[in-house]
Chain A
């Protein structure tokens, strides 16, 4: 005998009823003996879930709630198990335990970067020009001052870069090099999406104006532009944030904080991959241009002298660039092989 709670459609009133299932009909009898008949089609039932009592909405907008039983489940669901069938199937559960970590690795490690690359390629050049100009304006207004190198020196360095650029082939055609004085940033070089590359005076000073080292860094930046890294990173960050949000949804409290740190780490993994790509580009192109790839290793060594990394482990997690020692090691290994 199936019993259930019957809830009124206009108040929180509830009564106990007994339920009989006959072919396609459900007969509900209340405690004064009055029976009503409803066809299976007229009922709106929530899908089976765990051991939850079945919630059945009657066409009168009353709600009938009955504990699960094989009889009732079979009558309501027929052969359609729905997702509940998968959730209670050992093979599906075990398979999920194995596949979920594997798929996550695949999605974050391969799918997102791949999608980001294609997404990045869709961005029109005009947008890149605007973005670059806007970014540079913002930086000039805040962290960057006009260069304190004299024009002759700037031209000399620039000429060296264009020489190198002419001896390699690139998809992107227009590169323009500018210099800035950046006391708050220190020695640095960065590329904007439209091919504008900025060197800080402090970087020139760090390498004592050594053109060979500067060329190596120049090619690294060219690598960023060629591979469309900045737009790629925007896409990767967007995808990663959405993925974490929708895969893991409502994690609250300290775990949110954890995911905050977690997403920084994920982001760092993306930027580290880009940096490694740019390093590789620089090394290969140095060779193509007939220059010594060791120049890149030397440039990295100069930088590491200035900012020694305290811990490679910390860098792996919390730095946007790969640990400087590993970059030097890779560069030296490349330079030594012929």
Chain B
């Protein structure tokens, strides 16, 4: 299937060179697809040259994907061959994490939640530190006091919303409105914090997404999607993922997603359909079961009540797993860490469903003690289905710091760096 290639990332010189290449190849081994491509290139060349002569030397897009080359078949592929494909390994084990989790939980309760900042750091260090790619592990660098600061702010915000609502429903609405208006800022701040606190091989990640665009994606687009009765929700979701990915950097390399809107629409519609079918079928099953097995009003109500709760969970898990697995797989294969790595995810919907159902049941029936087991299992599954294509040795990736203006910006950001997300 021929898709028109996007040449906006190339300079005019590069396009002309490619055109030259293809013309000579066409002379030797002609093919219709190649001829179509030659014509397409000629079209692009004349468009560029007539547009703005001086700008013709610049690529149309801000970025220059030096790694992408258009081959004769019109398929974009990293120019750099894959040096090696490495699996993502998760090395954490339940027995070890259970002890960490339960002791930290005790300390958290005894300190009425204050220790929770330390507990969070230890938990994240455990999961990040036990994630290994290509022989090197991730680090989580946050300090507990930073987390505590963020949590205190979050508590104040939340409590003021609560209390405002008590004094006057109108005031409550106003505060809720203000918080909603602030939401994009909070999202960016906490995402930025999370990435900056993550490092691999002593190079930090960072988030450089513009706040203005955050408002588009997290406030403006949700309103639009709401107005269209969620018909445009897939576009919104795609834009959110795109925004977060494009704004993410590893050192001085940017993550480059090439997300497909069609994929989001297809998956979204299918997930909604699956959800509705399960609800309908499940509703009938529950209705029939409750009538057949129960003898009095009390038991019928019980069966109905708990049956509906279970159905709600099942729908959420099944439809959600369908969406999550497909979109995750798509995002991985469509994203490249500029020149350094490609990604692959082979998460199967049924594996995810099995994981979520068994985790949920285990946690409920163990009255919560299975939580560490569930977290470890989830990390293992996600790691097992993830692979990284190493395109170039990461040695050349520079830590985005030093004398650049970035560093000053980062330090200033440090003051405002609070992990505001509740919980």
Contact = CB atoms under 8 A, between A and B. Distances in A.
Given A100-B105, A245-B423, A257-B312, 13 more contacts: A10-B402, A11-B399, A13-B201, A53-B129, A55-B129, A83-B103, A131-B168, A138-B170, A241-B158, A249-B423, A253-B320, A254-B360, A310-B297
Given A52-B129, A131-B166, A11 B301 contact: no
Contacts of B371: 248, 251
A257 B394 CA distance: 40
A150 interface: no
A87 B116 contact: no
A246 B151 contact: yes
Q: Is the interface of A mostly helix, strand, loop or mixed?
A: helix
Interface in B135-162: 136-137, 139, 151, 155, 158-159, 162
Given A97-B102, A311-B301, A12 B162 contact: no
Interface of B: 92, 96-97, 99-100, 102-110, 112-113, 116, 118-120, 122-123, 125-126, 129-130, 136-137, 139, 151, 155, 158-159, 162-163, 166-171, 200-203, 251, 297-302, 305, 309, 312-313, 316-317, 320, 356, 359-360, 363-364, 367-369, 371, 394-399, 401-402, 422-423
B111 to A, nearest CB: 10
A9 B199 CA distance: 12
B106 A100 contact: yes
Contacts of A53: 129, 137
A316 to B, nearest CB: 11
Nearest to A131: B167
B360 A255 contact: yes
Given A10-B398, A246-B108, A86 B103 contact: yes
A326 interface: no
A205 interface: no
A14 B251 contact: no
Contacts of B151: 246
Contacts of B104: 83, 87
A245 B200 CA distance: 29
B234 to A, nearest CB: 20
Contacts of A242: 113, 155, 158
Nearest to B423: A245
User: A12, A49, A104, A238: which has the most chain B beta carbons within 10 Å?
Assistant: A12
B103 A51 contact: no
Q: Which 4 A-B pairs have the closest CB atoms?
A: A7-B202, A311-B301, A134-B168, A310-B301
Given A10-B402, A65-B137, A313-B302, A249 B120 contact: yes
Interface string A37-70: 0000000001001111101000000110100000
Interface stretch (A88-96, A157-165, A170-178, A292-300): A88-96
B103 A92 contact: yes
A254 B356 contact: yes
A237 interface: yes
A9 to B, nearest CB: 7
Nearest to A104: B109
